[in-house]
Amino acid sequence: MSLEEIITQVERVLRVGLAIIAAYVVALWVAAVWWTLRDIRSRTNDVFLQLSAVLLVVLFNFPGLVLYLILRPSRTLAELYEAALHEEALLQGMRVPSSCPVCKQQVEADFIFCPWCRTRLKEACPRCQRPLLLRWQLCPYCGEGPVEGRLLPEEETTRHHLPEAT
C-alpha cells in the first residue's frame, strides 16, 4: 500500500467518525430541546415562558440548557397542586366542623340539639344561657357550676332527644 492510499483510508475513517459524532451531537441537541419543552410545560402554563425556555436551548444549545436549569421554576405544577391540597387539608383540620355523635351530620358549634336526629348536643347554662358541652362541670363563660344531676355524655346522647312533633 502506498502512502496516498493510507492517507485516503484515514481520511474516510475520519469523515465517517466526524459524521457519527456530528449526528450524535445533533441528536443530543434535539433531545435537549424536547426535554426542555416537556419540562417547562410541566412547570408553568405561561406560553411566553415556555417559548423562551425552548428558544434558549435552541439558540444556545448546551450552555442554554445549563442556563435553563438554573432559571427554571423549582417545582412542577403537580407539586404545587399537591402542596396546595396539603395546605388546604391542614386548614380544614384547624377548623374542624363539629358533627352529631349519633347521625354524623355537620352541626354548628352553638347548636344545643341536632336538627336532623334531635339528639341533645349541649346544655344551656342555667345562669347565662350559653351552650355548654355535656362533659363540662362548670360554665366557662360565667363560672356557674357544678351542675347537679348531669348525665354522662354517652347517656345524654342516647336518652335526651327533642320530643317528637305531634
Segments making up each domain of the chain, as ranges: 3-78, 97-166
H-helix segments, the chain:
3-43, 47-71, 77-94, 153-159
Per-residue pLDDT of the chain (166 residues), as tens digits, is 789 999 999 999 999 999 999 999 999 999 999 999 999 999 999 999 999 999 999 999 999 999 999 999 999 999 999 999 999 888 876 665 678 888 988 888 788 889 989 988 888 888 888 888 878 888 888 888 765 544 444 444 444 445 555 4
Is residue 118 within 8 A of residue 142, CB to CB? The reply is: no
- What is the CB neighbour count within 10 angstroms for residue 141? 13
Say if CB 58 and CB 64 are below 8 A apart.
yes
**30 alpha-carbon distance from chain centroid:** 34
CA 120, CA 140: separation in Å to the nearest integer? 19
Cis peptide before 146 (omega within 30 of 0): yes
Instruction: For cell 484515514, name the residue.
Output: 10
User: Rounded distance, CA 24 to CA 30, Å?
Assistant: 10
